[in-house]
Amino acid sequence: MYPKGALAHLARALDWQSKGDEFESRMLHMKTQLLLIALLVLSSTLKAQVVNYSPAYFGPNANPAWEFTDATIPVHTYFSFSEDFFFGFGDNTFSSKLTLEIPLLSERISMKLWVALMEQFKVTEEVSEKRGMNGVLVGGADGDMCIQTRIRLFKEKKIMPNVILNTTLKTASGTNVGKRRYYDTPGYYFDVELGKSVHTKNELVSEIRGAVDLGFLCWQGPYNEQNDAPMYGGKFILSNKLIEFENAIAGYKGWMRNGDNPLVYSSKIALKAKQMSYYLMYQYGIRDFPYHHIRVGFTLKLPEIMPIFNKS
């Protein structure tokens, strides 16, 4: 016979074991709940850290609808300086732009450089939150250097338009990706410009010129993602010896659909002089480019850096 005390100990041991099983079950359930909470927090954090590398979520100089020319390569070297003011949709930005085009072979091949500098901005709290700027409302940045090679493929004739092939590299030299001013990744694009003029005997409008731009744009986003976009544009220019009036539309269409489908309209007037011209431009973002844009600047004709060859 077992002593009475032994049975009591056995009963207590079995009771503890049953309670222990219940305790382990509750601990497992609690661990599962904690794991789910941790996963939800991590998912929310990663979602908050997703950055849309698109013009709708960055400053106006990051990756705009790229400008194109009237499909000509100049005879002389030209330097251009402008002041740009963007406003109207919660982001007020002021910046300067330098542009230099050097003909390597007059009217046939040129090298073109441009960069936005000394950018200053002020955004609303709504824009800061939308872009993930961590509450930053004011600041400054410097832009990306862009390098372009331009080659004339066909010369304008009676029926044939001037055809220019452009190859452009956008560097990753811009600053303040955290404030959503410039991407910290490079990009490039290839485009073809076609232009044709009609000359008149009217002194008020002595030349009517049309130009079309078609191309392909590619840029790198976060996590090594790549966005590709067809580019397009067109412009209509009326000019005489003193004044040039231009209206243009331009854009591109990315595949990610995260604000990467900008379309803009611009109107520009230039006063021409012998060595210098002055211009005023207004641009409106129709889609995925939330800005009004006013530009004031001048273009200066410089002495020839490369020799001018026979035009024939």
Residue 113 near residue 145, CB atoms below 8 Å: yes
Q: Report the CATH number that the domain containing residue 166 is assigned in CATH.
A: 2.40.160.40
The total domain count for the chain is 2
Is residue 194 situated within a structural domain? yes
| pTM for this prediction | 0.80
Q: Judge if 97 and 66 occupy the same domain.
A: yes
If asked whether residues 86 and 168 sit together in one domain, one would say yes
Which residue carries 């029926």 as its tokens?
Answer: 159
In a domain, residue 104? The reply is: yes
The pLDDT profile of the chain, 312 residues, written as one tens digit per residue, is: 444 555 555 555 555 455 555 545 555 556 566 666 655 544 444 444 578 899 999 999 999 999 999 999 999 999 999 999 999 999 999 999 999 999 999 899 999 999 999 999 999 999 999 999 989 999 999 999 999 999 999 999 989 999 999 999 999 999 988 899 999 899 999 999 999 999 998 989 999 999 999 999 999 888 778 999 999 999 999 999 999 999 999 999 999 999 999 999 999 999 999 899 999 999 999 999 999 999 999 999 997 766 655 554
Q: Which domain holds residue 128?
A: 52-302
